[in-house]
Amino acid sequence: MKAHLITYGCQMNEYDTHLVQSQLVSFGAAIVDTVDEADFVLINTCAVRGKPVEKVRSVLGTLRKTKAQRPLVVGMMGCLAQLDEGQQMARKFGVDVLLGPGSLLDIGKALEGNERFWGLAFKDELHDHIPPPPTGKLQAHLTIMRGCDHHCTYCIVPTTRGPQVSRHPDDIRRELDTLLSAGVQEVTLLGQNVNAYGVDGGARLGGYPSFAGLLRLVGQSGIRRIKFTTSHPMNFTEDVAAAMAETPAVCEFVHLPVQSGSNRVLRRMAREYTREKYLTHIAEIRRHLPDAVLATDIIVGFPGETEEDFQETLSLYDEVGYDSAYMFAYSARPGTPSYKHFEDLPREVKTERLSRLIARQKEWSARKNAEKVGTVQEVLLRGDAHDPAFLEGHTRGNHPTVVPKAIGAAGAGIYAVRIEHATPHMMYGRILDAQGRELPEQPRLDPASAALSAPLAMA
């Protein structure tokens, strides 16, 4: 079998894709780069917003035409596969294999005999499986929990991924050991709400540390850089900030989604915290990590949001001064309370507000990145940039960074880099040696060049 996998959505989906790929390879399948090479195409889907759902619909339409021309098995997995919407789509487009987020280890059973298989149960034994480490990469994801016990009115995750199930720390350590042995130097801990690790269904699990304790534990593993995503402010504790400051391997990057700066909107979202409580968390982070890089998620145009509510979001953005943000216009998702009970705002209102927020974010990102010019940053370089004479990577604070290749630094690795230029979304620098001197034969950077100005994906 030649298999090709297409992934939409979050880093958890990327991890799940890797898990399924490892299963397929263990069955003797070859992973290929294109649909044209494949006789099995599996789409890992996202249902959080409408846009990735429409992308899946479009791909399935194309694959149905391909199936009419040659033998091809098509599969869907992930959050959309768990929903009635996704199952109806699967029937319409003739999907052969359907796997929910908790049935990923059933991929072999699903393909056996090439019969349609509808496996949708949430299964805890996923946590017992240790996928092989990624080949030839310095970065890796590591799932520490699945599901979520919160019920934000806009969010479909509790429906698609089930209640929170924390992974046993022994299994986390075992996977860390495999990553270390493979040469991985940066690990991102994944969960729908990492701050609630070890407290499933509202009860502390025996033998499980708090998330702060887990950070300290992972920090002793030998991994050079540790990140985590994502956090819910309701479960954030100052001990997490303290653990970050006390554990050198943990990067000073905090992604703390706020979603709105208006208490009225936060209540309608059922976020369980106020603007004021959120700001106390920001103060706690900065008390322990004065140079922390802060990122957030913001939903614009939630049902009932007024211009006054939106202005409160803009003022919160200015009060915090985020380095970056993931910003979205509200997307009504079938199956969520907000879809059922609230009336959506006009599309043009949401689009106009989103454009204003993006402009504000660019101002802050430009200001924050400009402060890094002249500083030396630790950068993990992943490999070639758009121009093969340059390398791309990211700092400990997750800033996308481009540097020229140099003698002694022609490939992936962690290097000291002096930042020479910055834009709102990119930093440019030059590699230094152990004495702080520039490595030889580095071409001068031209940030305006087409090869370097194209946006690079954040890790």
Q: What is the pLDDT along the chain (459 residues), one digit of tens a residue?
A: 899 999 998 888 898 888 888 888 888 888 999 999 999 999 999 988 888 899 999 999 999 999 999 999 999 998 998 898 999 999 999 999 888 887 887 888 777 755 544 444 444 566 677 888 888 899 999 999 999 999 999 999 888 888 999 999 999 999 999 999 999 999 999 999 999 999 999 999 999 999 999 999 999 999 999 999 999 999 999 999 999 999 999 999 999 999 999 999 999 999 999 999 999 999 999 999 999 999 999 999 999 999 999 999 999 999 999 999 999 999 999 999 999 999 999 999 999 999 999 999 999 999 999 999 999 999 999 988 888 888 999 999 999 999 998 767 767 899 999 999 999 999 999 999 888 888 876 766 666 654 454 443 332
Helices (H), 321-370: 337-341, 347-370
pLDDT of residue 449: 57
Which residue numbers belong to the known binding site?
A: 10, 46, 79, 148, 152, 155
Can you point out the beta strands (E) in 256-331? 293-300, 324-329
Across the chain, how many H-helices and E-strands are there? 14, 21
Distance CA(43)–CA(81), nearest Å, equals 10
Tokens linked to 353: 């507000």
Tokens linked to 171: 């299994």
| Cα-to-chain-centroid distance, residue 59 | 22
pLDDT of residue 166: 96
**Backbone torsions φ then ψ of 207, nearest 5 degrees:** 85, 0
pLDDT of residue 228: 97
* Sequence-separated (6 or more) residues with CB below 8 Å from residue 355: none
Distance CA(293)–CA(252), nearest Å, equals 6
The closest of 89, 82, 87, 153 to 330, measured between CA atoms, is 153
Distance CA(76)–CA(90), nearest Å, equals 8
Which DSSP helix (H) or strand (E) runs through 189? strand 186-190
Distance CA(207)–CA(258), nearest Å, equals 31
Distance CA(453)–CA(386), nearest Å, equals 9
pLDDT of residue 454: 44
Q: Per CATH, is 2-121 categorized as 3.40.50.2300? A: yes
Residue pointed to by tokens 């509790």:
158
Radius of gyration of the chain (CA): 22
Q: pTM of whole model > 0.75?
A: yes
CATH of 125-367, one of 2.115.10.20, 3.40.50.1980, 3.80.30.20, 3.40.50.1240: 3.80.30.20
Which residue numbers belong to the known binding site for [4Fe-4S] cluster?
A: 10, 46, 79, 148, 152, 155
Give a three-class secondary structure readout of 236-266: CCHHHHHHHHHCCCECCEEECCCECCCHHHH
- Category of 26 on φ-ψ map: left (φ > 0), alpha (ψ -120 to 50) or beta: alpha
**For the chain, domain boundaries:** 2-121, 125-367, 376-453
What are the respective helix, strand and coil percentages of the chain, to the nearest 5? 40, 25, 40
Tokens linked to 268: 């309608």
CB 419 within 8 A of CB 403: no
pLDDT of residue 444: 67
* Sequence-separated (6 or more) residues with CB below 8 Å from residue 136: none
Tokens linked to 307: 């211009």
3 state DSSP class of 358: helix
The closest of 276, 281, 271, 226 to 248, measured between CA atoms, is 226
Distance CA(84)–CA(376), nearest Å, equals 51
CB 188 within 8 A of CB 141: yes
Amino acid at 62: T
pLDDT of residue 251: 98
The closest of 296, 303, 308 to 262, measured between CA atoms, is 308
Distance CA(125)–CA(127), nearest Å, equals 5
